[in-house]
Amino acid sequence: MHRDDMILISVDDHIIEPPDMFVNHLPKKYRDDAPQLVHRDDGTDVWTFRDRVIPNAALNAVAGRPKEEYGMEPQGLDEIRPGCYDVNERVKDMDAGGILASMCFPSFPGFAARLFATEDSDFSLALVQAYNDWHIDEWCGAHPGRFIPMALPAIWDAELCAAEVRRVAAKGCHSLTFTENPAALGYPSFHSEYWNPLWKALCDTDTVMSVHIGSSGRLSIPAVDSPPDVMITLQPMNIVQAAADLLWSRPVKDHPDLKIALSEGGTGWIPYFLERVDRTFEMHATWTLQDFGGKLPSEVFRDHFLTCFISDPLGVRLRHDIGIDNICWEADYPHSDSMWPGAPEELHEVIERYEVPDSDTDKMTHENAMRWYSFDPFGHLPREQATVGALRRRSAGHDVSIQPRSHQVLTPSEKLEGYRQRARAATAAGMTS
């Protein structure tokens, strides 16, 4: 397949939320208490909510910026590409990057919206619904066919969470972002019957539970004084615990239609994982009493789990050991792992290297995403206008050059010291494991 003939749907990108997102969707009585974007004297923009301050870390929005500006320090909206927070500019960036459609995870509320879980359930639900309505109606609705809608959960209440899944499904949303470890947030684990209403709602509405790495706020960092390279290296593999936890849990046995995406978790580790779970089953099922109804755990995994990769040549090479129907591609815009705007070139090089046939390429680049997330972009944009080449032609003149944007230039030693300070603070708060 020629590079320009590929059709790319990314199942993992991110929004840097704009300051006016609550204006049209949160009831008036709650607006004074809602999260606010505050511009500080040091030039950074931070979200504030009660006693919480949530900065926008630089690594979360470095698309189009030189690597010298990568780091963990906070930044302002005027230091990042407008496509991070402006949907019209985002679509221009998508066109220039040859990307047809995108599914966008939240930023400041956290992947599981735990920020919104207050002592007032009505207020918390209003915040979740306001965010979801803004995301579905304004962000996705601004350019039909270009975004896979995603909803935040009412994480603090399984019944409310199930009801919200049903509500947003009626609006065409079939993806729910959720934590990979609810127990780490103080809620019952996946092994508890507490979540039964949620499993049923997900299956009834054909909604995917999209579990993003780091969504419990816990990442494996061996030591506080370890270099950031350790944390960055381990990030994708943090999802392995959630994969094991869910595979051996009751929900996948009791709900044959349950669908779970391991978002930003990579794919190269999956073949060993599947060998290991089958070996575990063979050696221990007699006393652990695991029963998959005559199937192997690896077979059940392929029935329920979607794996996702950004740049994973090994996973592409081992695609049939993983399951060709269980793999989707991600762009990760505007995070530091993103290949934007050169994703088509990098992905195509891997596809050519391993002589991937067109049928396999189509599944990984867009067909699996469409099927898993009940998403049909071609109802809005004809297929011939949805290819990498066609999208780039219509974006001619859109500036994708690498440009420095930071107001202050920090030395590498200053960036590392800032990282260590934040790591120590996170450890003290119990945010790492």
Residue 88: both structure tokens together: 């019209």
Q: What is the rounded distance in angstroms from the CA atom of residue 167 to the CA atom of residue 137? A: 13
User: In this predicted structure, what is the pLDDT of residue 411?
Assistant: 77
Question: Do strands 52-55 and 259-263 pair parallel, antiparallel, or not at all (unpaired)?
Answer: unpaired
User: In this predicted structure, what is the pLDDT of residue 432?
Assistant: 38
Q: Is the peptide bond before 341 cis (omega within 30 degrees of 0)?
A: yes
CA-to-CA separations, 119 to 124, 157, 354, 425, in angstroms, rounded: 8, 12, 53, 25
Q: What is the rounded distance in angstroms from the CA atom of residue 17 to the CA atom of residue 412? A: 28
Q: What are the phi and psi torsion angles at 102 (to 5°)?
A: -145, 145
Q: What is the rounded distance in angstroms from the CA atom of residue 56 to the CA atom of residue 44? A: 8
Q: What share of the chain is helix, strand, coil (3-state, %, to 5)?
A: 45, 10, 40
Residue linked to tokens 């400041």: 108
CA 374 to chain centre: 17
User: In this predicted structure, what is the pLDDT of residue 56?
Assistant: 80
User: In this predicted structure, what is the pLDDT of residue 224?
Assistant: 63
Residue 24: both structure tokens together: 């049209």
Per-residue pLDDT tens listing for the chain (433 residues): 999 999 999 999 999 999 999 999 999 999 999 999 999 998 889 999 999 999 887 668 889 988 888 876 768 899 999 999 999 999 999 999 999 999 999 999 999 999 999 999 999 999 999 999 999 999 999 999 999 999 999 999 999 999 999 999 999 999 999 999 999 999 999 999 999 999 999 999 999 999 998 876 555 555 667 787 887 787 777 899 999 999 999 999 999 999 999 999 999 999 999 999 999 999 999 999 999 999 999 999 999 999 999 999 999 999 999 999 999 999 999 998 999 999 999 999 999 999 999 999 999 999 999 999 999 999 999 999 999 999 999 999 999 999 988 877 777 777 677 766 666 655 555 543 3
User: In this predicted structure, what is the pLDDT of residue 407?
Assistant: 79
Would you tell me how many other CB atoms lie within 10 Å of the CB of residue 44? Answer: 18
- Cβ atoms of 408 and 349 within 8 Å: the answer is no
Question: Do strands 45-49 and 52-55 pair parallel, antiparallel, or not at all (unpaired)?
Answer: antiparallel
Q: Where are the domains of the chain?
A: 3-428
CATH 3.40.50.2300 for the 3-428 domain, yes or no: no
User: In this predicted structure, what is the pLDDT of residue 135?
Assistant: 98
Q: What is the rounded distance in angstroms from the CA atom of residue 87 to the CA atom of residue 274? A: 39
User: In this predicted structure, what is the pLDDT of residue 384?
Assistant: 97
CA-to-CA separations, 280 to 237, 273, 323, in angstroms, rounded: 19, 10, 20
Q: What is the rounded distance in angstroms from the CA atom of residue 77 to the CA atom of residue 220? A: 29
Q: What is the rounded distance in angstroms from the CA atom of residue 301 to the CA atom of residue 185? A: 25
Cβ within 8 Å of residue 216, ≥6 positions away: 112, 179, 180, 181, 182, 184, 185
pTM of the model: 0.93
Rg (CA), the chain: 21
Q: Which among 193, 238, 248, 191 is positioned nearest to 216, based on CA atoms?
A: 238
User: In this predicted structure, what is the pLDDT of residue 431?
Assistant: 46
